[in-house]
Structure 1
Amino acid sequence: MKLATLKDGSRDGQLIVVSRDLRTASIADAIAPTLQRALDDWPFYAPQLAERYDALNQGRARNTFAFEPKDCMAPLPRAYQWADASAYVNHVELVRRARGAEMPPEFWTDPLMYQGGSDDLLGPCDDIVCPSESFGIDFEAEVAVVTGDVPMGTAPDAALRAVRLVMLANDVSLRNLIPPELAKGFGFFQSKPATSFSPVAVTPDELGQHWRDGRLHLPMIVHWNGKKVGQPEAGTDMVFHFGQLIAHATKTRNLRAGAIVGSGTVSNKDAQRGYCCISEKRCLETIADGAPVTEFMRYGDTVRIEMFDEPGRSIFGAIEQSVAPLDAAAAA
């Protein structure tokens, strides 16, 4: 099934069920008022939501309305956890090669992961607001999952069974703020502003054969200012699957229902597939020519991130954002 959160003026929005073709929706607050509430007792609420989803797809649901991504918040507008990994090690290797650094061998066996801000997550059409273009504004197209409760010490196979929902993410990075932050030895903070998510979150069964081995096997389509710049296969070159990522996160802590775990920037070894972040393009330019030529995003730039099934139907809806200055956002 497909679930989304409608803007209603509150912090957590209103849970809706969305049709498979993303054309219609139905308010689900008679079942559960918010997605977090549904996740808190998933075995109880999921069957009821699935019944509403079936009715919606069969044209039997009552009080339906046209679904508009711009009216959506993130599926989880605020979450108890947002842990982002770097499962596509090719991306990490390119970054290190571009700056002449060796690749530690353990990066291939032990996932990289950081804890991002989860109190303010963006909707699919919300602006990327940044105080300065000089910060090096970059998009990062990723796959993300939402978990149920996962106890400390859970093994990868069991962790994978805790995946409740799958969605897309734009984990925006401010590249020029990253080096001084990492130099302090304490990780990302200012260089990682609010992350945005696809209009809908999808249950794994809805993805059919494309969801297997803890990976989503479909191309990630990225357009920057209307030009397609990336279509890498999300299931290819993903060294650590989501069960392994979740298990990594639970080595010393519990994950609670509603935790979000990201894949990191989707990246293929085949450079002909394009890129899911500008930084990777700049790394390839540096490796080839000694210096990057592609600039980071400017105010007014747009990015569109989407994934389609074989017949060409959008699965999650599109993340479609513009970059805006802080003063313009405050005025709005």
Structure 2
Amino acid sequence: MKLATIRTPDGTRAVRVEDARAVEIGVADVGTLLARPDWRQLAETASGPEHTWDAADTAPVVPGPGKIFCVGLNYRTHILEMGRDLPRYPTLFAKFTETLTGPGDDIELPIEDPQIDWEAELAVVIGHSVRRADEKAAARAIAGYTLANDVSMRGYQFRTKEWLQGKIWESSTPVGPMLVTPDEWQPGGIIRTTLNGEKMQEASTADLVHDPVFLVQYISAMLTLNPGDLILTGTPGGVGHARNPARYITSGDVVEVSVDGLGELRNRFVVSPSTSGPGA
């Protein structure tokens, strides 16, 4: 089953995606849907108003997650290109709801940092509350998978040893276009990034050092994961910052992130209208 959140003149709506159709489920968004114990049955049987999927204005698949966990250095290829050893434990950092944006939205380039980079990521969406999960409970807690682009402001990110300040810029992280349930899609497909049509990243989602089930286990040992929470699982090799010479996103560039079966993010980068702020 494929689920999405679309924007309509009357607000956002959760929909079930069936080929060319998007069928309204009767709740405002996928996050609200997942908060219901009967979310799967409701989504499967809904027969609300229909929209044309290809013409839909998609919002972040979960517009207001309670928690967004991100994993750094989790693809073997990316770890090697960054000159690091394979980690024993996941490197974790957080994002906030304000960082999210839609799968097709324009993204503003901040005037404060010219070093803007792409990071294609497989994202896990939690379907029910879980704490201290074993392997089976962790797998059951996964509602499905989606895509993210962890757009990174490298100048700010590497000002200190902590990455947070380069990862939490407003409306910089597209997530979507849809959630695909585990019975229909499992990690192993190829994740790709193109910049203006030129391939930048391509790797198997099976190349993760720490897979989604392990990540749910590991994080749920610390605190409860709730419906709609997101886990961005890391990016493969091919980021702009690791190239020689480095390559960054500039105004007018279009970055596309895709995985067969999960859809595509397509975001154009534009100059920010803001004219003030601290220098990079």
Same fold by TM-score greater than 0.5: yes
Match of 2:16 in 1: 17
- Say whether 1:327 aligns with 2:273: yes
Q: CA RMSD in A?
A: 2.3
Match of 2:135 in 1: 156
Deviation at 1:138, TM superposition (A): 0.7
Larger radius of gyration: 1
What one-letter code is carried by the residue in structure 2 that aligns with 1:85? V
Counterparts of 1:302 and 1:133, CA distance in 2: 20
Counterparts of 1:18 and 1:149, CA distance in 2: 21
Cα distance change, pair 63–253 in 1 and its aligned pair in 2 (3 A): closer
Match of 2:240 in 1: 278
Contact in 2 for aligned 1:133/1:298 (Cα 8 Å): no
* Aligned length in residues: 272
Match of 2:33 in 1: 38
Match of 2:278 in 1: none
Match of 1:286 in 2: none
Counterparts of 1:150 and 1:159, CA distance in 2: 10
Counterparts of 1:9 and 1:159, CA distance in 2: 37
> 5 Å matches for 1:34-73?
34-42=29-37, 44-52=38-46, 63-68=49-54, 71-73=57-59
3-state DSSP class of the match of 1:109? coil
Q: From the two aligned structures, give the one with the greater helix fraction.
A: 1
Counterparts of 2:99 and 2:167, CA distance in 1: 15
Deviation at 1:145, TM superposition (A): 0.9
Deviation at 1:155, TM superposition (A): 2.4
Counterparts of 1:177 and 1:89, CA distance in 2: 25
Deviation at 1:320, TM superposition (A): 0.3
User: Gapped runs of 5+ residues in structure 1?
Assistant: 53-60, 268-274, 283-291, 309-314
What one-letter code is carried by the residue in structure 2 that aligns with 1:147? I
Match of 1:311 in 2: none
3-state DSSP class of the match of 2:157? helix
> 5 Å matches for 1:86-235?
86=72, 87-95=74-82, 97=83, 103=85, 107-132=86-111, 134-182=113-161, 186-193=162-169, 194-207=172-185, 211=186, 216-235=187-206
What one-letter code is carried by the residue in structure 1 that aligns with 2:234? G
Contact in 2 for aligned 1:170/1:197 (Cα 8 Å): yes
Match of 1:28 in 2: 25
3-state DSSP class of the match of 2:8? coil
- Say whether 1:266 aligns with 2:236: yes
Contact in 2 for aligned 1:181/1:188 (Cα 8 Å): no
Deviation at 1:9, TM superposition (A): 6.0
TM-score normalized by the length of structure 2 = 0.88
Deviation at 1:118, TM superposition (A): 2.3
Contact in 2 for aligned 1:89/1:108 (Cα 8 Å): no
